Amino acid sequence: MWLGHVGALAVVVGVVVCWIYRWRNPRCDGKLPPGSMGLPLLGETLQFFTPNTSHDISPFVKERMKKYGPIFRTSLVGRPVIVSTDPDLNYFVFQQEGHLFQSWYPDTFTEIFGQQNVGSLHGFMYKYLKNMVLNLFGPVSLQKMLPEVENTACRRLQQWSCQDMIEVKEETANMIFHLTAKKLISYDSESSSENLRKSFISFIRGLISFPLDIPGTAYHDCLQGRKKAMRKLKNLLQERRTMPKKQQNDFFDYVLEELQKEGTILTEAIALDLMFVLLFASFETTSLALTLAMKFLSDNPMALKRLTEEHEAIIRKREDADSALTWKEYKSMTFTFQVINETVRLANIVPGIFRKALRQIQFKGYTIPAGWAVMVCPPAVHLNPAKYEDPLTFNPWRWEGMEVHVASKQFMAFGGGMRFCVGTDFTKVQMAVFLHCLVTRYRWQAIKGGNTVRTPGLQFPDGFHIQIWEKELQKGKIHVHLDGQT
């Protein structure tokens, strides 16, 4: 009897040891990149999510680059992953989208963004949804939207100037959410009795957190926030269906038209998931970039001076100084686009872009097994000292003479390949127009906050609080300017 128990225990131990060995040494018909798979099931997930306060490449990636080189293997949330900090492999992955690789994100992301979210769809369905979005946020539509973007920015800035202090990240997020929700679903956040954005606040806190769905965790709150937001969006769509035929000229109109077409491939679930992603991505990423831009400009008087000169010159060239911003003027903002590019290069709002290998691939002597994930790491590219001199310094002038509107091996803040972010133009319009209204009419002073933390996504744990005032109000008053003079 005793010997039987010992024998059974030995078998169990043997199975466990074999399993751990297989976990740490995955089978591969070739040579895997070097690296560690970490603990069984957990992998190196905890190390990946460890917070850091630097703008530099995360310690998780930097330490492994130093130890293993620019391409290494790991395991995150239970999946084997090849991490690429190599520009050539990154470019290859993006160019082979739909052939050797396809968009992929961990199951936790799919739970958050929806089973039918645009990032999880491929082929014709993805192209179909991409064209739907471009119909609303493409260059042609943005030209018509420009006056509304400018009016929104001017109105909010005027409101903020009447307050003793504002928190930039929160206020810019509210501003952009108001504009985007109005264009997408004719939702007026200022007059509605229900605050739709509150659902997204809890959602944001857990978006990039450890995937533990237990009450009290950030991830659980995130999922609950999604449920509330999706319920609201579904109710709004149902209300629109029952309304008398009346065009609102928003995205819901387009969706309802598509849903009513015979033989349509669009479903209500796909449409709602798309709406959810668009609402979140538009205000969260852009507000982070705007907040960081204002922080960088606060700390760099020369860059602020050059930016202000560019926008004041635009106004001086007008016949009527008070006329609205034109598309031609927007396209002329050369230094502004340099500021935007430099901001998003340093921001690295998206710490990783995931793809999945559709078949076994050989690259630079390494084998990427079929089914494995590949995480393209933009921060390692954007902060590479071999490409960007003094990479942690905010220097918009480094973009002089360079193309600032395309992705490349060395710049992928908006993705790359066929999945280049469809909201890129919308983001740049909002940032450029906001900065135009800001520097031509206002001054501001940092009060507190402005520190960032990555977990691994970018956050402002203490916010960024400023005081803002109209330039015309300077007469007869003494204020501390950004250059330290009074």
Annotated binding site for heme: 421
Token code pair at residue 267: 């479903």
What are the strands of the beta sheet with 373-376, ordered from one edge? 71-76, 79-84, 373-376, 353-357, 101-103
355 φ, ψ to 5°?
A: -135, 165
Q: Residue positions in the annotated binding site?
A: 421
Q: From 285, 412, 383, 439, select the one nearest 61 (Cα to Cα).
A: 383
Residue whose tokens read 């492994």 = 64
Q: From 315, 255, 303, select the one nearest 128 (Cα to Cα).
A: 255
CA distance 114 to 198: 19
Residue whose tokens read 């957990």 = 42
CA distance 285 to 291: 10
What are the strands of the beta sheet with 166-167, ordered from one edge? 166-167, 464-470, 442-449
CA distance 145 to 153: 13
Per DSSP, which regions of 154-232 are E strands? Answer: 166-167
- Contacts for 279-283: CB closer than 8 Å, 24+ residues apart: 279/177, 279/180, 279/181, 279/184, 279/200, 279/229, 280/200, 280/203, 280/204, 281/423, 282/176, 282/177, 282/180, 282/423, 282/426, 282/427, 283/173, 283/176, 283/177, 283/180, 283/197, 283/200
Token code pair at residue 5: 């128990």
Cα angle value 167/173/176 (rounded, 5°)? 135
In which element (H, E) is residue 442 found?
A: strand 442-449
Token code pair at residue 170: 């929160």
CA distance 217 to 237: 31
Cα angle value 207/212/215 (rounded, 5°)? 95
Q: Which residues pair with 361 in a beta bridge?
A: 368
Q: Which amino acid is at 463?
A: G
